[in-house]
Structure formats: C-alpha cells, structure tokens
Structure 1
Amino acid sequence: MSIINMEVSTFSDLSVVTPKAEPFIKWAGGKQALLAQILPHFPKSFERYYEPFIGGGSVFFALNHHKAFVNDENEWLIDTYKAIRDNYVGVVRELDKLTNTREDFLRIRAIDPRSISLEKRAAQFIYLNKTCFRGLFRVNKKGQFNVPYGEYQRRYYAVENLAAAANALKKVEFTVGDFEKCLIGITSNDFVYFDPPYFKLGGYSDFNRYTAGQFREAEHLRLASLCNELDAEGIRWAVSNSDTPFIREIFKGFRFENIKARREINLKSQDRNVNELLILNY
C-alpha cells in the first residue's frame, strides 16, 4: 500500500517516520511509475547526487542518497521542499486549515505566494496541486498559477510521508534557477540525473509551462552541450527525454535505453502510451 494513500486520523501521528519517502505532489512527467526501468541503469556507487530538474522528486526520494544537490527553476517548488525539510509540522497545520471547495480554491489560487510565510506557501502549493485539474502545475507569462479547479475530493497529504520527506530532504543542498547552477563543484566521483521538460512530441504531451519561461529547442541544445562537457571531464550522467529525431541527433554517440511510459496528461487515451529515452554516457 502506497504511503501517500494511507489514512492518518490524528495530528499526534506526526512522530511516525517512514523508512523512505514518496513524492508528496503530482508532477507532469513524474518518474514514479518508471523507476523500475530507470534506476537499474544508474551507477552502483557515487559520492554525490545532483538533480538539476527536481520536479516531484520521484528519483530523488527513491535513491535516498546520503548527499544530494537539488535545483529547479520553479522557486515556489523549492520553497515547498525547504518548508517540509525545516518544519513539516507547521506545513501540516496550515494544510489542515484549507478546505476543498471551488470558492476556496479560487481564493487561494489568487494569493501571491511571496506575500505569505514559508509554511503557508508550501501548504498552498500542495493544496493547489492536489485540488487543481489533473494535478498540473502551470503558470502564465507573469508566473501566476492558472490551473482550474479539479472537482476532486481526496486527501491533500499523508503525515507519515511528509515526515519521511522531511528526513530525506535534510541531506540536500538547494539552488533555484538555471539547470547549470547546481553543478558547480561537481567531480568525476559524482553522478547527475537530468529530467528536463521534454522536447515536443505534439499535443498535450508537450507540457512545459512550469515557470514563466519555457524550455525550448535552444535549452535542449545547451543541455546537450553541457553533457558533452561533463563527459569530457569524466563525470557520469543520465538524461531522460522524449524519443525524437532531434534528441537522438543532439545526443549522438551516447547510449540510448528505451523506456516505456504512459502519460496520463494526454486527453486522448490512445496517445498516452509513449516511448521515452534514457541517455547515458557510461
């Protein structure tokens, strides 16, 4: 039974910590269902783990590495991880104040997260993620969250899982910004996993509006160039991306592993089964 679906009836259960956390938010392109295909390809050992596009954190939580450097361009997301790490009890208290109605959803969605405390900011991030349509995180060009209400009646969180997440996140150093930012100081003893917004396939699978800016062809080319530089320095890396001629071309010469995925974000059920790539330089 997944810990995220476990019922927690009382606030006194906050002292319970699970051995390993699972993602506490839903994220487009999340890797929870693909871990069994991805993780066996990772190196057996490395000193430090780097993940420049943390998203929902499926791979990070599954690895539970002793030392990790985590980054994302979405500042609200990173603030949520920090709040869980530093005071998940406070986040839970704020979550318990939020009610799942259309009126409250729209009111909370309109709040500028930068105007409230870190704990409230995290609670509202989780709340919006669990009550909005399809669990998307999407913003407009001004960086404002704009996903409609989802009409879902489900629990926002599991206390045990947030406690476990807080424990796992204590091993992390966070940065916010461009994907190259968190790689300063990386060595050949370390390992980096890149899970960027995927290169376009067409239709709803092209979701990449996590921040006011978007991850376009130029960014994919820059990521491929960085991977070539890391390879020249003997630094091991893995990249997840869509299986397209463009991605195969810019990563030509590296190893490709096929990953079978299902993307529920696509509104057409027949288009939800897709082939992805795991690209490796070792």
Structure 2
Amino acid sequence: MYPTISVAPTRPVAAYLGGKRNLAKRLCAIIDGHEHRNYVEPFVGMGGIFLRRSRRPTAEVINDLSGDVANLFRVVRRHYQPFIDEMDGLHACRAEFDRQMQLDPAALTDIERAVRFLYLQRLAFGGKVHGRTFGVSRGVGSRFNVARLRADLRALSQRLESVIIEQLDYAAILRRYDARETLFYLDPPYEGTEGYGIEFGPDEYRRLAEMLAGIAGDFIMSINDTPLVREAFARFAIEEVSTTWTVAQTAGKKVTELIIRNRRR
C-alpha cells in the first residue's frame, strides 16, 4: 500500500475548454481510490481534476504542451506576490480584453505572460484558448476580480509546491514517467472539437491507444463518446457515464462520456 497525504481540494483559477467540473467528483473518487505512488497528468489544462483530488501520493507530475499553461503554473508557484502585483489595476472590459489579445506573449516577461493568459481565460467565452471572444452574461458579475482571485491563487501556489511541472508532448511524458506504481490520468482533446490550439486527429487517438497498451502503469482516461474513440480504445475497459456540457451560463446539454481504464490491480 503506497502512502498518500490528505490535501484540500482547490478550484481551477480559470475555465478551460474541456474542463471536467461536472465529472470531477466521480473521477476524483476513482483516482483517490486507486493505489499508486506516482500521479501523472499529460493533459492537465487548468487542473480541473488535478486540483479537485483529496489525496496526494509521493510524486505528482502535471504537463501541458501549452507554454501559457506551464508558465502560469510555474509563475504562480514561484512568484505569487509579483504575479498579484502585476494583476492589480486590471479590470474586466472589452477594450482591455482586445488590448491583451493584441499583445505578443513572446515579447512579455514570464509574469506578464502569466497575467495575460489568466486575464484572457477568465473572460473568454467558453474557456477557449484559440479564437477567444469577450464573454459576458446578463445578470452575472465580472469573472475577473483580483480581490476574489487572491485566495484561489494563494491556494494554487501552495498546492503546487512539490509538483513537477512539464511542457512536453504527451508521448514523452508517458515514456519518461511510466512505472508499475504510476497512475496516469488523461484528458486529451475531445474528438471532433476545436479550440484547444493543437492538432489531434484520428491517427493521434490510435497512437495514444498503442502507447497506453504498452505501459507498465495504470491509466484512467475521460473522453467524449464517438465511434472513433470506441474503435481506437476498444481493447480497454470502457464505462459510459452521463454528464452535462455547459458553456458560460447557458442551459446544459446532456451527453454521454467515456471513462476508459486498463486497471490491472
């Protein structure tokens, strides 16, 4: 039995396309109940599952190919106060949103880039990372409020203290951290959706399935229910779950998603 430590679940500091808010409770219960010493997320996004878990094993690794995501986590962990100071004075308005959209992230400092990314993700419609538009909802207050964000960012900074943060292709993460005692949780781009900013076509799902078939550790994956996904991952255990997809404050759409596993222990 591998030792784990109880941790307080925290909220993601911004929305992200494909976030798992409505499935989080179920997925976290599965993950927390699965024996493992190393926990690895190759597609962490804004941490919709990672941050909501209640148990921490010996080692944790989060990864995202997005430089904005990896940079945000590194900056919040190491430079919390300068990050907060840089955010002071920003307000939710369309003109500022458009100005931030025009900035070149490569020309900014790491802290400025992290602030820009968080600002845009808090205000973008639907949590999209590409093709962002300014999102507003009637009767709902601003989603960018520094006073309210401080507590969530402080909790995130503390939660990340012992976490390894990577920015690699998922295949490199699987190869680098695979071991019998490792549990991978995977939340890849959903088949047939757009807005992730990376290409993930049919061949990529089949490539991922082949790699997962050869790992020594265990994996849990959540993904949308499509014929391609069922075909690519047919060799594994597939469970159907009902959930609701919501965008901003619009009414939810009932859908079926899949939880796919290779649990051997």
Counterpart residue number, 1:216: 201
**What TM-score do the two structures reach when normalised by structure 2?**
0.86
Specify the code of the residue in structure 1 equivalent to 2:68.
W
Q: Does residue 150 of structure 2 align to residue 164 of structure 1?
A: no
Specify the code of the residue in structure 1 equivalent to 2:88.
D
Change (3 A) 1:27 1:248: same
Counterpart residue number, 2:213: 228
Counterpart residue number, 2:37: 47
Aligned-partner Cα distance in 2 for 1:266–1:244: 24
Structure 1 residue 40: deviation in Å? 2.7
Specify the code of the residue in structure 2 equivalent to 1:154.
S
Change (3 A) 1:133 1:167: same
Q: Is the 8 A contact 1:20 1:164 kept in 2?
A: no
**What TM-score do the two structures reach when normalised by structure 1?**
0.81
Specify the code of the residue in structure 1 equivalent to 2:106.
R
Counterpart residue number, 1:141: none
**Which structure 1 segments of 5+ residues have no match?**
1-17, 139-145, 201-205
Q: Is the 8 A contact 1:69 1:182 kept in 2?
A: no
- Structure 2 matches for 1:191-206, cutoff 5 A? 191-200=183-192, 206=193
Structure 1 residue 155: deviation in Å? 4.1
Give 1:173's match in structure 2, choosing from 156, 164, 179.
164
Greater CA drift, 78-87 or 89-98: 89-98
Which secondary structure state, in structure 1, belongs to the residue aligned with residue 173 of structure 2?
Answer: helix
Q: Does residue 86 of structure 2 align to residue 94 of structure 1?
A: yes
**Which structure 2 segments of 5+ residues have no match?**
1-6
Number of residue pairs matched?
247
Which secondary structure state, in structure 2, belongs to the residue aligned with residue 28 of structure 1?
Answer: coil
Aligned-partner Cα distance in 1 for 2:104–2:43: 23
Offset from partner CA, 1:33-73 (integer Å, 9 cap, x none): 21222223334321110000001202111225242111111
Q: Is the 8 A contact 1:52 1:72 kept in 2?
A: yes
Change (3 A) 1:268 1:95: closer
Structure 1 residue 237: deviation in Å? 0.4
Specify the code of the residue in structure 2 equivalent to 1:217.
P
Aligned-partner Cα distance in 1 for 2:129–2:181: 34
Change (3 A) 1:100 1:250: same
Specify the code of the residue in structure 2 equivalent to 1:65.
R
Counterpart residue number, 2:226: 244
Q: Is the 8 A contact 1:53 1:194 kept in 2?
A: yes
Q: Does residue 69 of structure 2 align to residue 83 of structure 1?
A: no
Task: Give the CA RMSD over aligned residues.
Answer: 2.2
- Structure 2 matches for 1:1-282, cutoff 5 A? 19-42=8-31, 43-63=33-53, 65-66=56-57, 67-138=59-130, 146-151=131-136, 153-156=141-144, 157-183=148-174, 184-200=176-192, 206-207=193-194, 209-211=195-197, 213-230=198-215, 233=216, 235-265=217-247, 272-282=253-263
Aligned-partner Cα distance in 2 for 1:53–1:191: 14
Q: Percent identity?
A: 26
Which secondary structure state, in structure 1, belongs to the residue aligned with residue 23 of structure 2?
Answer: helix
Specify the code of the residue in structure 2 equivalent to 1:279.
I
Q: Is the 8 A contact 1:28 1:265 kept in 2?
A: no
Greater CA drift, 87-96 or 51-60: 87-96
Offset from partner CA, 1:122-171 (integer Å, 9 cap, x none): 11111111122233211xxxxxxx41222464142521111111111112
Q: Is the 8 A contact 2:125 2:132 kept in 1?
A: yes
Q: Is the 8 A contact 1:195 1:240 kept in 2?
A: yes
Structure 1 residue 275: deviation in Å? 0.3
Change (3 A) 1:160 1:178: same
Offset from partner CA, 1:75-117 (integer Å, 9 cap, x none): 1111011111111222111222212222111111111112112
